[in-house]
Amino acid sequence: AGLREGDLLIDFGGTPVDLSQVDPSMGGASGGNALITTVGDLARFIDTLLAGRLFKRAETLVAMTTMVDAPSESGLPHRYGLGLETYSIGETTVIGNAGGAAGYATMMFQIPAHETTLVTSVNTSDLFANALEVFIPAVDVITAPAR
């Protein structure tokens, strides 16, 4: 079958494999239906969530943002709440969530000290590749002292 612009491809041993028809709900994380979105939509979502505008009761967001220490394979200081997590990258703390499935890895986090939201999504299932090659370098640029 011919590939079209927008098809989701993954490099498998030097051969691109079309993952466009893979349903991301296969792991059940999206409630049984696929979610199609953009990084802009995710940025608006995390901003609206953390501003407390998604829940009728403020206690819901308080529960989500009450963090406990959680070990992380990355070695970065990591804390987890209800569906949200925080990482310390150097002196910078970020809050949000990260995940992925076949063919993509996405990170959506606010950087409160810089009043910035950063969402990165890459065409790989490797979340650590996103973190190390895209997300953390972008945080470094955002948090670098002004010249």
Alpha-carbon distance of 108 to 119, in angstroms, equals 4
Q: Give the pLDDT of residue 3.
A: 47
Q: Give the pLDDT of residue 38.
A: 85
pTM given for the model: 0.77
Q: Give the pLDDT of residue 103.
A: 73
Q: Which residues of the chain have pLDDT under 70?
A: 1-36, 74, 76
Sign, CA dihedral 101-108-42-96, equals positive
Query: Are 135 and 120 contacting, i.e. CB atoms less than 8 angstroms apart?
Result: yes
Q: Give the pLDDT of residue 113.
A: 94
31-61 pLDDT, tens digit per residue, is 544 566 788 999 999 999 999 999 999 999 9
Q: Give the pLDDT of residue 76.
A: 67
Q: Which two tokens stand for residue 123?
A: 């065409």
Give the type of residue at 2: G
Q: Give the pLDDT of residue 1.
A: 44
